Amino acid sequence: MSNKSAETAYPIHELIKNRWSPRAFADKPVALDVIKSVLEAARWAASCFNEQPWRFIVGIKGQNDSYTGILNSMVEFNQKWAQNAPVLILACGKKVFTHNQKPNRHFSYDVGQAAASLSLQAMAENLYVHQMAGFSPDKAREFFDIPEDYEAITTMAMGYLGDPDILDEKSKASELGTRTRRPLSEICFGDGWEKAL
């Protein structure tokens, strides 16, 4: 369970209600079988033509060079807190369909679905995932020799919830703040654009 309060307008599953993106991670390793369960959830996500365009590079702190490569691809702000996470993940997507090599304009959407499944399975394992756009796809491509028909889309930090006191003051304030979301009336339309459902 998170230490963040989440007030929902309608009932939703507890895994979704309690999912959030912390920056404070505990200094506690994640068992490889648990990491694989989280990745298995991503594997079973839906995708256009069942292409499954996602590819995940997994860095385990103190166990492989991938951890350093992912961390070094991040912007400095994210490096500061993400270095505490026991697991770092780089999510990539294949930009073309395997069956005909034509552009797959849905590849990033599908990778996002896989990442969402991953995040919810992590919550079921009492793990938290923080996804980041703040990284250099070029640095990641160079370090991991990512093929041209793939794109590095996001990095993720994953681990058990840690003490917010390990963060700088700005990040700590964000960590302890209340989660908010736009009301349904702003995002769900019925009889036309901006006409609430």
Q: Provide DSSP, 20-62.
A: ---S-B-S----HHHHHHHHHHHHT---GGG---EEEEEEETT
C-alpha to C-alpha distance for 136 and 162, rounded to whole angstroms:
26
**Topology of the domain comprising 14-187:** NADH Oxidase (3.40.109)
What are the tens digits of pLDDT across the range 41-76?
999 999 999 999 999 999 999 999 999 999 999 999
Q: What is the pTM of this model?
A: 0.95
- Each residue of 152-189: pLDDT tens digit? 999 999 999 999 999 999 999 999 999 899 999 999 99
- pLDDT for 196: 87
Please state, in angstroms and rounded to a whole number, the distance separating the CA atoms of residues 141 and 131.
18
For the segment 111-148, what is each residue's pLDDT rounded down to a tens digit? 999 999 999 999 999 999 999 999 999 999 999 999 99
| CA 144/CA 86 separation, integer angstroms | 20
Beta bridge partners of 135: 74
H-helix or E-strand spanning residue 15: helix 14-18
- From 155, 132, 151, 156, select the one nearest 141 (Cα to Cα): 151
SS3 category, 67: helix
Tokens of 88: 């770092």
- Going from N- to C-terminal start, the domains of the chain cover 14-187
18 phi/psi in degrees, rounded to 5: -95, -5
* 34 exposure class (CB count in 10 Å sphere: 0-12, 13-18, 19+): middle
